[in-house]
A and B are shown apart, each in its own frame.
Chain A
Amino acid sequence: MSSRRQLQITKVKINAVTIISVTGSVDALTAPMLAEYLAREIQNPNPNLVIDFAELDYTSSAGLRVLLSAVKAARARGGDVRLAAMQTNVAKIFEMSGFNAILKVYPDRARAVASFAA
């Protein structure tokens, strides 16, 4: 039996910023759930999203693909997707894939949220 945590996605809204917390693992099985969740949030005008990855244990390239599509869609609607609190291995995949140049990444959610006010 796997000890891995199942994917869980929750959100909280602070003023004009929606913080989405992702817990568990994103792979080819669970990435569509994250994609669907983000797509719903991005339907709103000026979608300012912070994705808090503090509890994200693992992602494969399936998760990166979801984020790439999400940030494109959010920026097209006048918003942005910004990331916070990535664990070491997740940060490593990001760096290897050159995603640090595409998405804004912050050490914690407070700074990611504050970045939208700047």
Chain B
Amino acid sequence: MRPISIERRAFEGGVEQLTAIRDFVTRVVRQLGAHDDDLFACELATDEAASNAYEHAYTDRGGPIEVKIWREPDAIVIAVRNWGAPFDPASVQEPDLDAPLHQRQVGGLGIFLIRKLMQDVSFAFDPIQGNTLTMRRVLTRA
């Protein structure tokens, strides 16, 4: 069995890092053989995960975020890690897509999109290892 090669990069700062994070994800995921829809899903889901970390874990003050990406036979796996306050995305209420305009809430869309685009979304908190959101994208053209 071939050893899994993991692409890893750390980003220091705040939301101004989002462009670099998206560039990293699109480059790596493309190299790993993903196209179009999968590429877009990975880019957006990672952006949402990192944006959530900046807003909730680092409460808009910024901090390090590490992105790890690897390939499984039929999927791309992405892990987004931060060392801020533990924030469980599962605690976020899902937006009610059928609600009329005046009742639509502005929050919760990020994690909602992650769950729509990716599979096996999990969250682990460790005071030393950091908070890691891991998600898989099963490739449409593996």
Contacts and interface: CB of A to CB of B under 8 A. Distances in A.
Given A61-B48, A96-B116, A29 B15 contact: yes
A28 B51 contact: yes
B99 to A, nearest CB: 9
Give the residue among B15, B107, B117 with the most A Cβ atoms within 10 A. Answer: B15
Contacts of B7: none
Contacts of B19: 2, 4, 25, 27, 29
A98 B23 contact: no
Contacts of B43: 58
A115 interface: no
Contacts of A89: 40, 44
Contacts of B54: 28
B51 A97 contact: no
A97 B97 contact: yes
Contacts of B18: 27-29, 60
Nearest to B45: A60
A72 to B, nearest CB: 6
Interface string B104-139: 101101101100110000000000000000000000
B48 A60 contact: yes
B101 A71 contact: yes
Given A27-B19, A69-B106, A97 B113 contact: yes
Interface string A50-77: 0000000010111011001101100100
Given A2-B23, A28-B15, A28-B51, A72 B102 contact: yes
A60 to B, nearest CB: 5
Contacts of B86: none
A102 interface: yes
Nearest to A4: B19
Interface of B: 15-16, 18-20, 22-23, 40, 43-44, 47-48, 51, 54-55, 95, 97-98, 101-102, 104, 106-107, 109-110, 112-113, 116-117
Give the top 10 A-B pairs by smallest Cβ distance, nearest first: A98-B97, A61-B109, A28-B51, A29-B15, A65-B106, A28-B15, A61-B110, A27-B18, A60-B47, A2-B23
Interface of A: 2, 4, 25, 27-29, 58, 60-62, 64-65, 68-69, 71-72, 75, 89, 92-93, 96-98, 101-102
